[in-house]
Structure 1
Amino acid sequence: MRPPTALSDLGISLVQWNALREIHRNPSASMHQLSELTFNSDQAFGTLTTRLLRSGLIDRQQGLGRVIVHTLTEKGKMLLQQGQARHHRVMEGHFAGLSDDERDLLGTLLNKLGGYLTTSHDHRLGLRPIDFGE
């Protein structure tokens, strides 16, 4: 199963799901910071957030100074959670050929390189889990 296919029946693309994930993970981030986190240009991320707003997946508020702050709507949170489960299945499939020891080693190396990856129960897949506050 490939990520775009895994999300397509939810009506969301991998790019859109990733934006929701980073908005959720970084609630006070500026649009510029979010564009960097999602590997988009500022202009592309602005276009993406406009689509997410029109779809009712995010809200936009004025933050400090000129910063625009984005938050997920209930619909956005629901899609993020549904997509997360599918993302985990896809990632598990990609790494299925590795032994537990090899996954541990890969997770350790990715943590060392990325610094932002956590050592949670998903560390063998190089995943940073989403905290839904539940």
Structure 2
Amino acid sequence: MLSELQQLGRAVKQAQYRQHRALESGLSAIGITLAQWDALRAISRTPGASARALASATFQSEQAFGALAGRLLAQGWVERRAGHGRRIEHHLTPSGRQVLRSGHKVADEVLAACFAPLSEKDRAGLLALLHRLSGDGDG
């Protein structure tokens, strides 16, 4: 029998798995994967960031992010520019910004459905609790 903490951990994982599957399905309709969209979001939030910083922001290894960035480059969604020293900076192209906007629309629809069983107050409370667990007090 699972302890209460194990049940809680499993419930969080189940909710995350359901959300990821729904996002993956919705994003595939516009020709992008969840990992690609997440990388575009990270680059959009920190234009000029290094692969190391973006790997951390997207919960990937540097090697995995490098391969993903190569696919984004091949799609024409990002460009790499020489930065300070040996640093390579990542920037969105106009096409990448458009795909990101389309992905935001899909994500908003998918997440609205995923969180529909919760009231606005419940969602705010859940968000606050998750921020506290992740050590991100102000979100």
Q: Which residue of 2 aligns with 1:39?
A: 59
Q: Which residue of 2 aligns with 1:63?
A: 83
Q: Which residue of 2 aligns with 1:19?
A: 39
Find the structure with the greater CA-based Rg. 2
Provide structure 2 residue ranges, at least 5 long, that are not aligned to the other structure. 1-20
Worse overlay, 82-91 or 1-10: 1-10
1:1-134 aligned at under 5 Å gives the runs: 2-114=22-134, 115=136, 118=139
Of Structure 1 and Structure 2, the greater helix share is in 2
Residue 38 of structure 1 and its aligned partner are, at CA, apart by 0.9
Provide structure 1 residue ranges, at least 5 long, that are not aligned to the other structure. 119-134
> Contact (CA 8 Å) 1:110, 1:117: kept in 2 or not?
no
> Contact (CA 8 Å) 1:62, 1:68: kept in 2 or not?
yes
| Paired letter, 1:51 | R
> Contact (CA 8 Å) 2:37, 2:103: kept in 1 or not?
yes
> Contact (CA 8 Å) 1:23, 1:29: kept in 2 or not?
yes
TM-score, normalised on structure 2? Answer: 0.78
CA RMSD of aligned residues (A): 1.7
Query: Residues of 1 paired with 2:22 and 2:81: CA distance?
Result: 34
Superposition misfits of 4+ residues, deviation over 6 angstroms: none
- How many residues matched? 118
Query: Residues of 1 paired with 2:137 and 2:104: CA distance?
Result: 18
